[in-house]
């Protein structure tokens, strides 16, 4: 049997450059996308009725200080490791923030994260969701088509909410849940948007990308398309998809077997409707 090589979506050298640039840009305050993530993450951690003593953050960029700042001192982990790649097998909680969408072997990364967790350990991950940059993608498509006759690969695929839940299940995590945080940011300039992307190590790292940057005239045409009216800020959609899943444990609630319900579904729905 002939084994085919997996499709290489990303240019690893370009990803490494973007991540190194993001590390060099780190200041005392986290970038706004991470600030939003860590605030939401802290709420999610506190919603779980347990103390996470051993925690790992997996990914190229170290956001531990920002995470701890958003947690009450009594709930900060005793051991908080930063690992660029999955390693170890004794963690109560593993976290990933805005990294998984930029990995070729997502399934392999998720299985590695699953292996890090103790039984009944928790994974919480955030990725850039599929609604993000909708306006920018549409404008790039139009500008490239006008200039070149066809669009050029510029924005890599993003993870949808349903696909995120499936990733958790395929990795062997129990009770998989995914949800999303959608919001709009109004930018005065494209340079500010690019800065937000660079702050978290994102950029066009597609292996099939065009190697030539957009000329100045194309940038001006892009801004014109993005502005609702001359001089007005450009509305850009963002979506952060959250994933949570647990390493299996015998104490976890199991789904009922088909046919084991004590009340038929139509009877239950009728009872809810009638207020019984």
Predicted pLDDT of residue 65: 96
4, part of any domain: no
Residue carrying the six token digits 């940038």:
219
Let me know: does 96 contact 210? Beta carbons within 8 Å: no
263, part of any domain: no
237, part of any domain: yes
265, part of any domain: no
195, part of any domain: yes
Residue 33, H or E segment: helix 32-47
Going along the chain, which residue ranges are E strands? 54-58, 79-83, 91-97, 117-128, 174-187, 234-246
Predicted pLDDT of residue 26: 87
**β-strand pairing of 174-187 with 54-58:** unpaired
The domain that holds 35 is classified in CATH as 3.40.50.150
270, part of any domain: no
Predicted pLDDT of residue 68: 96
- Residues near 75 by beta carbon (within 8 Å), at least 6 away in sequence: 45, 46, 51, 52
Let me know: does 50 contact 75? Beta carbons within 8 Å: no
Residue 113, H or E segment: helix 106-116
Let me know: does 238 contact 183? Beta carbons within 8 Å: yes
169, part of any domain: yes
Q: How many domains does the chain have?
A: 1
State the virtual CA torsion across 48, 93, 239, 106 in degrees, nearest 10.
-140
- Residues near 59 by beta carbon (within 8 Å), at least 6 away in sequence: 84, 96, 97, 98, 99
64, part of any domain: yes
Going along 208-268, which residue ranges are E strands? 234-246
Let me know: does 79 contact 53? Beta carbons within 8 Å: yes
Predicted pLDDT of residue 266: 52
Please tell me the pTM assigned to this model.
0.86
Q: How far apart are CA 17 and CA 61, in angstroms?
A: 13
Give me the domain span that covers residue 38: 12-250
Predicted pLDDT of residue 271: 47
Predicted pLDDT of residue 131: 94
Q: Determine the 3-state secondary structure of 242 from DSSP.
A: strand
Q: How far apart are CA 35 and CA 66, in angstroms?
A: 7
Q: How far apart are CA 252 and CA 234, in angstroms?
A: 47
Going along 37-188, which residue ranges are E strands? 54-58, 79-83, 91-97, 117-128, 174-187
Backbone angles phi, psi at 110, to 5 degrees: -65, -40
For 74-98, write each residue's pLDDT tens digit.
999 999 999 999 999 999 999 999 9
Q: How far apart are CA 166 and CA 171, in angstroms?
A: 9
List per-residue pLDDT tens for the chain, 276 residues long: 445 555 788 899 999 999 999 999 988 889 999 999 999 999 999 999 888 999 999 999 999 999 999 999 999 999 999 999 999 999 999 999 999 999 999 999 999 999 999 999 999 999 999 999 999 999 999 998 888 777 777 887 889 999 999 999 999 999 999 999 999 999 999 999 999 999 999 988 888 886 667 788 889 999 999 999 999 999 999 999 999 999 997 777 665 454 544 545 455 445 434 544
């Amino acid at each position: 049997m002939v084994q085919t090589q997996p499709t290489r979506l990303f240019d690893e050298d370009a990803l490494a450059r973007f991540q190194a640039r993001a590390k060099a840009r780190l200041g005392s305050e986290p970038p706004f996308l991470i600030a939003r993530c860590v605030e939401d993450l802290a709420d999610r951690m506190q919603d779980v009725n347990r103390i996470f003593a051993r925690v790992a953050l997996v990914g190229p960029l170290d956001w531990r200080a920002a995470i701890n700042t958003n947690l009450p001192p009594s709930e900060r982990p005793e051991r908080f490791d930063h690992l660029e790649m999955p390693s170890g097998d004794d963690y109560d909680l593993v976290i990933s923030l805005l990294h998984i969408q930029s990995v070729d072997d997502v399934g392999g990364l998720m299985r590695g994260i699953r292996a890090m967790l103790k039984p009944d350990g928790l994974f919480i991950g955030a990725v850039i969701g599929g609604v993000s940059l909708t306006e920018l993608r549409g404008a790039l498509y139009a500008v490239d088509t006008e200039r070149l006759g066809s669009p050029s690969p510029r924005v890599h695929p993003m993870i949808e909410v349903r696909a995120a839940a499936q990733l958790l299940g395929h990795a062997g995590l129990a009770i998989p849940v995914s949800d999303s945080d959608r919001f709009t940011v109004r930018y005065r300039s494209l340079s500010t948007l690019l800065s937000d992307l660079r702050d978290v190590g994102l950029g066009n790292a597609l292996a099939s990308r065009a190697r030539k940057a957009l000329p100045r005239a194309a940038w001006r045409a892009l801004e014109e398309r993005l502005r609702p009216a001359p001089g007005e800020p450009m509305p850009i959609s963002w979506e952060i998809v959250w994933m949570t899943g647990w390493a299996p444990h015998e104490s976890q609630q199991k789904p009922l077997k088909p046919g084991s319900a004590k009340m038929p579904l139509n009877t239950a729905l009728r009872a809810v409707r009638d207020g019984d």
